[in-house]
Amino acid sequence: MDMKTFHLSLASAPALVMFRDIPEERAQMGTILFYHGFGESKDGYPTVLQLLAEAGFLVVGIDGIGHGERRYPDFHERFPPIAPHLIGNMQLEAAFLSVVRETAQEVPFILDALIERGWAHPERIGIAGHSFGGFVTYAAVVIDKRIQVAASVVGSPEWRLPLAESPHLHLDRFFPTALLSQVAGNDTNVLPAFAQALHHRLEPYYTQAPKRLRYIEYPNSSHNLIETDWKQAWEKVARWFLAHLYANKVNGQPR
């Protein structure tokens, strides 16, 4: 079956939509928002988007605030390449988290636009993200309870600045969302301990459905996952959505 792709705008956010057959039919199986890494764009992950679309979902890659088609013209001045003297710079951290926060705050409006088109079902919505996109994923789960399934790859639920929006401060907002967190054991950019701590603290909330909470660590990888871990991570994401998002349709399971 042919794979179809469309570039369009959803609630002013540039989007790349990928699906097989008819979008309304794919939405009945599940719609997945995908968020890219920092400095990247929705168009830089064709293999990941296609993997999820081939699994049967309607996949929507979104350009984060200041990225892709709406990239800040002074992006490199705002966010210079990481160097030893910049590590721990709280001004840069604040700028990064501002982009995370603004991007996550768009999610409800994007979902509204997709539902209005018939390209999303209110009870079969998922979100996934890589690095920066993982930060957005955690934040979006806290913001919009329509998200039933979430998967982060080398992202963090805990922000380095004391901001009230940091997802790790809102444990009661996660369940019953099925949450998969995958991290790199040697990651010095996004510390794996943050996601690990979140999952430990969430366990009491998931006692009724422990299979909806999973933490995976790749001990041999740094932030840039080695090729085998990268491939495995996204295959696990696809299986996670098949197990929990599609299951809502097949088994009539509650969130």
Token look-up 């409800």 returns 108
Edge-to-edge strand list for the sheet holding 178-184: 3-10, 13-20, 58-62, 31-35, 125-130, 147-153, 178-184, 213-218
To the nearest whole percent, how much of the chain has pLDDT over 90? Answer: 89
> What distance in Å separates the CA atoms of residue 142 and residue 214, rounded to the nearest whole number?
17
Token look-up 């309870």 returns 145
Per-residue pLDDT of the chain (255 residues; tens, 9 = 90+): 589 999 999 999 999 999 999 999 999 999 999 999 999 999 999 999 999 999 999 999 999 999 999 999 999 999 987 655 446 678 889 999 999 999 999 999 999 999 999 999 999 999 999 999 999 999 999 999 999 999 999 999 999 999 999 999 999 999 999 999 999 999 999 999 999 999 999 999 999 999 999 999 999 999 999 999 999 999 999 999 999 998 655 444 433
CB–CB of 232/16 below 8 Å? Answer: no
Token look-up 């998922």 returns 126
CB–CB of 246/240 below 8 Å? Answer: no
pLDDT in tens, 204-220: 999 999 999 999 999 99
| Among 99, 119, 87, residue whose Cα is nearest residue 10 | 119
Provide the whole-model pTM.
0.94
* Segment (H or E) for 252: none
The reported pLDDT for the residue numbered 88 is 66
